[in-house]
Structure 1
Amino acid sequence: MAISGIFIYLLTTLIAVLVYYFIQHFSFWKRRGIPHDLPVFPYGNLRGIGKTHHLRQIMKAYYERYKKSGPFGGFFFFLNPAVVIFDLDLARDILIKDFNNFMDRGLFYNERDDPLTGHLFALDGTRWKNLRRKLSPTFSSGKMKGMFPTVLSVGDQLHEVFDKSVTNDPVIEVKDVLARFTVDVIGTCAFGIDCNSLKDPNAEFRIAGAKAFAKTRHSKLITGIIFSFPRLARKLGIRFIHEEVHQFYTRVVYETVEYREKNSIKRNDFMNLLIELKNSEEGLTLNEVAAQSFVFFLAGFETSSTTMGFALYELALNQVVQDRLRAEINEQYSKHGGKFTYDAMNEMHYMEMVMKETLRKYSVVTNLIRRPINDYPTSDPKYIIPKRTMVLIPADAIHRDPDIYPDPEKFDPERFSPEELQKRHPITWLPFGDGPRNCIGLRFGKMQTYIGLSILLRHFKFHYSEKTPNPLVPDLKNSLMSSKGGIFLRVERLKID
């Protein structure tokens, strides 16, 4: 009895200590007098995420509720105190002016135990700075121009697949075909491998890409805790990437590097540039090559294919916009001898307006994340961002703010005419971030998206069909902005003069 009594006493004491700790922990913003919603253990202010709500819906509701309360609001990202930025000048300072204090994202990575997490998107501090400096030249306009013919050849295959599909059934689920297109583009440019997923939907790379998003080692709750306490998770040697995914991408990179070096193979692709860095004086390790290839593949295929799908969806609903864009595409083909060239792509101004409006309305990455190295005072002495606190800049909510973009649900590329751009604050369009830590692959994403859409719109017209969802329903299980159940459009073959 004595032993069981002691055990019950210790257990009760432990529970009491934990309860007290979390009461104190969740009063973080209350003690500072910062407006916030009451958190719920263990989800913080993310209750229902992935089940009843998407992150973008949670953040948009929060933004609308508190945006006029001050420069930022308090938030709990699972167990992690965070701030949500409302003031655009403050957002600009965080991303650009005071970037040296906000260089880090504070995401989980574990290069020792989970090598594929040691990529540019997640790393912090000196590790990030050095890697960004090494990789930046690989995404120059000159390098993109060298890769252009490779991407264009995959675009021709995309045309063939659509042409064959229209013959069988004019209603096509475009999201899946576009994902296979970007898998083939990234597989070719990042790994130098002909993935063949356009011809074979069950190709190995296509399946591996889907698993990288769908398969995780842990439940959503454990994943949330890992990202709430990334330093602790790293010290404990926790791994995040599923073993099957890890084995596939590591094997592909190791075999590709070995084969190219052994046979002195050179190609105009990302892998070739990484191998050159690996063999340079301040080179990359093989694990670093694998990690950068991995994140380039994931970031490139999912974001671009999703954006292209949303663009075609809106063009099907807005035929006037589609016709104007097609006219510009045909004009560039005629101007450049009936071919789509790198220069033609860069002269497509209406395409740029259409894509910017697509990315405004459908922000694939809904929030930008930073963490200050030191405490950061704002213009209001009450509002101080404590060091290492997660900072969320709600890009999607800003993009849908009617005070910034009137009638935000309307698809209107004219919002991005030169005249309209001059009227808005520079930090009101953030699909690629801003400042020194913006998306390094911006040029590549633009290139594969413009090529894919130009080829499709030149040869096909897209219409609303009885299977087309309206409005689109977000996939709650995808952390990125994605449509549930695909995007079905009726596709009409056009005659080319």
Structure 2
Amino acid sequence: MDVSTVLSPLVTWVVIIISALYIIYRYVTASFNYFSDQGIPGPRPIPIFGNMWGIWRENLPEHDVKLVKKYGKIFGYYDGSKPNLWITDVDLIKAVCIKDFDHFVDRRSVNLTIKVMRKWMILMKGQGWRDIRSSVTPAFTPSKIKLRRYCRVRIENCFLSVHFFISEYLFTVVFPNFLSTFGSLGEKLYVIDDFKFIFRLLENVILERSQSKKKYNDFIEIANESISEFKKEIDSKTSTLFMLAAFDTTSTTLTNTCFQLARNPDIQEKLYDIGEVSHDMVQDMPYLEMVIQEVLRLYPPLLRVERQCTKDYSYDNGRIHFKKGQLVTVPAYALHRMEEYYPDPEKFDPDRWSPENKAKRSPYTFMAFGLGPRNCVGMRFAMEEMKIAIATMIQKFRFFPVKETPLRFFDGFCILLQHFDATVGVELRQSIPTDRYDLLLHLRRRIFKN
């Protein structure tokens, strides 16, 4: 048998396989010169994963700080094959979030087909986001916040699970079309049973109230009235827009506040003599707001603030070019710890937020609530909620340290700052009635659990 006859098919298949692998390699790395061609530094990406390989083993807050220290205020990063420009330069932050916001209206594209999630404000784009934002905003005016009462339901389990399901978000970063291709699997990953319970609860509450003329003046009523004219026909059914957010970020910030007050008793005592807690009272407590802002500086609930370029854009006379679809990330945790902006950044110092000190610092160095038109719509609500909670706790309890350990946060790709060790001691400042003993036990359980 002629050897060439045997080898010819083999050689042909080898050539085909090598050519196919080369084509695939070129396809998945086609964007990897996007930043280097512009002279922008950054870590070297690898095929398919870009710079995301091993991110599930990292401590994300520490990871972001290291990247900023190594590559500077502007550098390129790749979420899979997608270019993502990281920025901590205040002028560029201002341009993206405020000055040229019309080029960066959207957040990261997440192709969710899940009915209960696809209309969430955080995921909406363009005009759809503008419509929802304008409809929801009236629910957070000072007058509406003053009127609101709380609807108390057991939703702790829903948010205790956030760390576990949000890790699956990594798939949507590296493989952005994953959830739209496998919609049913995406729903299993994201919509846990506790979320479904909340959705059903809210639907039932609104349905019952629609059949009654009784006024409740709580947040559900105010929010529903604000968006009552903004409803969409989905699958031939009327779908009411719900807001479900901020519970986990607010509770985390309150835990972080207790932790810092325990380690700074002098600051804690400054907050003690405040009188009766009310809406009007907390509006005139500048030092309390300074304490909360310093907590949010050290521990911003959202580690990264993202925007997506919606149309081609050039910055600094073309020095940096953004193509439509490119991502921009402000690593808030790392930004808040830059020595240039916050001297001795690891120190807890509420005086950083005095009027005279704030005036010396660019407002674009603080991203706890985002910036510009797409900042946190519930910022005022969250601040008042935290002020009232802290002021009430300080009147009744004293926090003290029980061990000298720093706050420790979960490892892995969790974009929310989630701590797993925040232990403090709690003692009564004065005796309380017996019928309030359960409240004390509940508070102790929550703090020690966090």
TM-score range, shorter chain: 0.7 to 0.9
The change in CA–CA distance for 1:263 and 1:24 in structure 2 (over 3 A counts) is same
2:163–2:418 contact (8 Å) kept in structure 1: no
1:278–1:285 contact (8 Å) kept in structure 2: no
1:439 aligns with 2:441: no
Query: Which of 72, 75, 79 in structure 2 is aligned with 1:73?
Result: 75
1:128 is paired with a residue whose SS is helix
1:118-137: per-residue Cα shift (whole Å, max 9, x none)? 21111110000011011110
Distance 1:464 1:27 in 2: 50
2:252–2:418 contact (8 Å) kept in structure 1: yes
Distance 2:325 2:25 in 1: 24
Match of 1:174 in 2: none
2:123 is paired with a residue whose SS is coil
The change in CA–CA distance for 1:278 and 1:458 in structure 2 (over 3 A counts) is closer
1:305 aligns with 2:255: no
Match of 1:459 in 2: 396
1:411 is paired with a residue whose SS is coil
Match of 2:430 in 1: 495
Match of 1:406 in 2: 343
The change in CA–CA distance for 1:274 and 1:234 in structure 2 (over 3 A counts) is farther
Choose 419-428 or 39-48, whichever is displaced more.
39-48
* Superposition TM-score, scaled by structure 1 size: 0.77
2:59 is paired with a residue whose SS is coil
**What amino acid is aligned across from residue 209 of structure 1 in structure 2?**
F
Q: Report the alpha carbon displacement of residue 53 of structure 1 after superposing the two structures with TM.
A: 2.4
1:252 aligns with 2:201: yes
Q: Report the alpha carbon displacement of residue 212 of structure 1 after superposing the two structures with TM.
A: 4.6
1:344-370: per-residue Cα shift (whole Å, max 9, x none)? 010111000000111011111122111
1:63 aligns with 2:68: yes
Choose 254-263 or 358-367, whichever is displaced more.
254-263
Q: Percent identity?
A: 26
Match of 1:206 in 2: 156
Match of 1:170 in 2: none
Pairing 1:269-418 to 2, within 5 Å after superposition? 269-277=218-226, 279-280=228-229, 282-283=230-231, 292-293=242-243, 296=244, 299-327=245-273, 329=274, 333=275, 339-418=276-355
1:50 is paired with a residue whose SS is helix
Query: Which of 471, 477, 483 in structure 1 is aligned with 2:419?
Result: 483
**What amino acid is aligned across from residue 484 of structure 1 in structure 2?**
F
The change in CA–CA distance for 1:219 and 1:321 in structure 2 (over 3 A counts) is closer
* Superposition TM-score, scaled by structure 2 size: 0.85
Distance 2:217 2:66 in 1: 45
1:261-288: per-residue Cα shift (whole Å, max 9, x none)? 23444322232234335643x4456999
Query: Which of 107, 110, 113 in structure 2 is aligned with 1:108?
Result: 110
The change in CA–CA distance for 1:279 and 1:31 in structure 2 (over 3 A counts) is closer
**What amino acid is aligned across from residue 134 of structure 2 in structure 1?**
R
1:380-437: per-residue Cα shift (whole Å, max 9, x none)? 5332122210001122212101111110000000000011011011211110011111
1:368–1:395 contact (8 Å) kept in structure 2: yes
1:133 aligns with 2:160: no
Distance 2:369 2:238 in 1: 23
Distance 1:26 1:398 in 2: 25
Q: Report the alpha carbon displacement of residue 291 of structure 1 after superposing the two structures with TM.
A: 5.3
Match of 2:165 in 1: 215
1:117–1:291 contact (8 Å) kept in structure 2: no
Q: Report the alpha carbon displacement of residue 109 of structure 1 after superposing the two structures with TM.
A: 4.7
**What amino acid is aligned across from residue 261 of structure 1 in structure 2?**
S
1:52–1:476 contact (8 Å) kept in structure 2: yes
Query: Which of 20, 23, 30 in structure 2 is aligned with 1:14?
Result: 20
Match of 1:34 in 2: 40
The change in CA–CA distance for 1:7 and 1:58 in structure 2 (over 3 A counts) is same
Structure 2: runs of 5+ lacking an equivalent: 1-5, 433-450
Root-mean-square deviation (CA), in Å?
A: 2.8
1:52 aligns with 2:58: yes
Distance 1:108 1:288 in 2: 23
2:75 is paired with a residue whose SS is strand
Match of 1:122 in 2: 123
Q: Report the alpha carbon displacement of residue 42 of structure 1 after superposing the two structures with TM.
A: 3.7
The change in CA–CA distance for 1:122 and 1:222 in structure 2 (over 3 A counts) is same
**What amino acid is aligned across from residue 36 of structure 2 in structure 1?**
K
Distance 2:238 2:287 in 1: 38
1:84 is paired with a residue whose SS is strand
1:115–1:291 contact (8 Å) kept in structure 2: no
1:222 is paired with a residue whose SS is helix
2:49–2:174 contact (8 Å) kept in structure 1: no
Distance 2:380 2:343 in 1: 29
Count of residues in correspondence between the two structures: 420
1:28 is paired with a residue whose SS is coil
* Structure number with larger C-alpha Rg: 2
The change in CA–CA distance for 1:265 and 1:210 in structure 2 (over 3 A counts) is farther
